[in-house]
């Protein structure tokens, strides 16, 4: 769930992500992992960086790879090396920057690993532990606001209040809704729902529709990774992994309710697991 939200942010606020990781607000276009190999590959966000800015200090042919991790994973170093080699086979002349971004605070030594080593072979990548990052950086652009709650400042309630004020300044109502929803979901890693409901504006909350509300309406059971409160029928994680007892019709009903709240098609598709084409058809036929 959390990884999926981060991927959504990276894809829809790519310039904000580039400003943070690369130091330049460069437009990014997504590179599909399918382009790298016919074998299964999992990349939380694998993005091709393209720019027509001749004054840009960064190489135009650059691939930015971001792995968002909620918890430590001993397979990360191998996975990063694997992705680097796959990209090299497909794009031998492109440079590549790789980041592993850890969301939830951990004392595990795994969150400090930034290399994969074998005899006569080694590969390095960059690691970011959000709980060590200064909060102010993440309050400057809409795409970074959802991550601010996970950063260094210890008073998380105060950070959420700052996030809410920044959301109020966003001109687009739709972006407000998406950023609010993402902030609520990631906030579930460090704050209780009643606190978030109290701070985030109710009218925006109605448009963004919190995950708890979504899941209650669908009458689902199970657990969200990170223990986001509420009961689901089935077990959701990542791409809504597990089983949803409501099946297709229940997903469609949830999607219709979300579309009526003016959430974007991409966001609704991600939450429900329905295809973008199906969500588009539902939107065209809204009562």
Residues 6+ apart with CB under 8 A from 250: 218, 219, 244
Q: What is the structure's pLDDT at 97?
A: 92
Q: What is the structure's pLDDT at 196?
A: 84
What are the residues facing 47 on neighbouring strands?
30, 64
CA dist 208 and 264 (Å) reads 10
Residues 6+ apart with CB under 8 A from 271: 211, 214, 240, 254, 258
Q: What is the structure's pLDDT at 221?
A: 32
Asked whether the beta carbons of 282 and 256 are under 8 A apart, the reply is yes
Tens digit of pLDDT for each residue in 236-246? Answer: 444 344 444 45
Q: What is the structure's pLDDT at 130?
A: 97
Q: What is the structure's pLDDT at 210?
A: 41
Q: What is the structure's pLDDT at 48?
A: 64
Q: What is the structure's pLDDT at 253?
A: 84
Residues in the chain: 287
Q: What is the structure's pLDDT at 207?
A: 57
Residues with pLDDT less than 50, the chain: 52, 209-245
- Strands 121-124, 115-118: pairing is antiparallel
């Amino acid at each position: 769930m959390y990884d999926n939200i981060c991927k959504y942010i990276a894809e829809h606020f790519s310039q904000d992500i580039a400003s943070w990781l690369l130091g330049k607000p460069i437009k990014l276009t997504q590179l599909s992992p399918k382009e790298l190999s016919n074998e299964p590959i999992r990349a939380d966000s694998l993005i091709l960086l393209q720019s027509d800015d001749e004054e840009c200090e960064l190489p135009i042919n650059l691939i930015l790879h971001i792995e968002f991790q909620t918890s430590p994973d001993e397979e990360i170093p191998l996975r990063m090396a694997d992705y680097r080699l796959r990209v090299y086979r497909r794009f031998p002349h492109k440079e590549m920057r790789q980041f592993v971004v850890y969301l939830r605070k951990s004392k595990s030594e795994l969150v400090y690993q930034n290399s994969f080593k074998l005899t006569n072979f080694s590969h390095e990548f960059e690691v970011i532990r959000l709980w060590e990052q200064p909060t102010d950086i993440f309050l400057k652009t809409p795409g970074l606001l959802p991550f601010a709650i996970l950063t260094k400042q210890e008073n998380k309630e105060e950070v959420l209040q700052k996030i809410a004020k920044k959301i109020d300044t966003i001109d687009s109502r739709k972006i407000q809704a998406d950023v609010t929803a993402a902030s609520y979901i990631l906030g579930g890693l460090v704050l209780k729902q009643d606190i978030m409901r109290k701070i985030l504006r109710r009218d925006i909350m109605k448009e963004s529709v919190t995950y708890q509300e979504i899941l209650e309406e669908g009458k689902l059971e199970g657990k969200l990774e990170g223990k986001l409160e509420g009961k689901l029928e089935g077990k959701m994680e990542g791409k809504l992994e597990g089983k949803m007892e409501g099946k297709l019709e229940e997903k469609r009903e949830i999607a219709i309710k979300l579309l009526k709240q003016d959430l974007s098609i991409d966001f609704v598709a991600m939450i429900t697991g329905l295809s973008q084409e199906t969500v588009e058809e539902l939107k065209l036929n809204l009562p």
